[in-house]
Amino acid sequence: MGVVSAAGAVGLGVRAPLEVSAALATGAAVTASVRALIGDSPASLAGAMLAPLLVIAMLLDPTAAHAAPVVRAALAIAAAAWTVVELSRPSTSPLVAVMPAVVAAVLEPAFVALVAFAGARLMTAPWKRPRWAIAGPIAGGLALLLALLAGTAKTGVFAALGRHWFGAAAPESVAHVAADAAERLGPIVAVAGLAGLASLARPRHAEISVLACALGAVLVALRAGHAGPALVGVAAITAALAVARLAGLIRLAPGQACAGATAALLLLVPPAWTAIEHGPAVSIATRTR
């Protein structure tokens, strides 16, 4: 799916090697995260194939009013998805989840909660914990505090950090941001994304971290006044979970595959058609917040 995502980006007019590589990494990581969250079955396969293509199509939407630098956005989503994968499986070296969590938080403040969950994993995973492991959750808490201060400060050093990290602040009402998110995602993807949140109601690090990312994406969108790339990534993953959950209601494996593929097409065609119809307005590397 990483290769398919890169090919899809090329088909939409992307040519720069860095941009194609970012699409490849995002496709592979998002696919793995969906499989980690929903398991292996024909129904989950449909969701795992849908999520990365949704991300690429929506990030490359030339009609988006507030397009972020897509290379940065794609790498942030890839790092966040990689963190979810590492948090979802037992590991004797929980440190592997820390690096992608830090990368995701640096590139996209909506994902800063992943640092806290990766730090908490250091203290709860079945491994022989060194004395310094307590620094993990402390660092995660400090990262959350820093994001809160930077996101709410009006003047001073924290305000300057917020402008560089979050982008310009232009708060809008909840109704305005919800309407913008529905327009950016499309009504079908938005509804499916909300429905997919029910699949995360399990007391595991991975599921709770995705819920935290969803909350962070909403808060960042409210600060910016519009839906950002974090909301796109989270919505694509939760919409894929909804498709897998819906198709999983069918007992027969061929029926699951057919139902999942049909639902996936209904979600994927509108954003893909928009991206194909309008074409890339500018190189995605030159888009700014």
Residues of the chain with pLDDT under 70: 62-68, 91-92, 94, 278-289
- Residue of 110, 115, 190, 185 whose CA lies nearest to 150: 110
Both structure tokens of 62: 């030339």
Q: Which residue ranges make up each domain of the chain?
A: 2-286
Backbone angles phi, psi at 41, to 5 degrees: -170, 165
Q: What is the pTM of this model?
A: 0.86
Angle, helices 174-185 vs 187-196, to 10°: value is 110
Instruction: Give the H/E segment covering residue 47.
Output: helix 42-59
**pLDDT at residue 280, as a whole number:** 52
Three-class secondary structure of residue 31 per DSSP = helix
Query: What are φ and ψ of residue 278, in 5° steps?
Result: -90, -25
DSSP state of 63: T
pLDDT digits (tens, 9 = 90+) for 23-54: 999 999 999 999 888 877 777 888 888 889 88
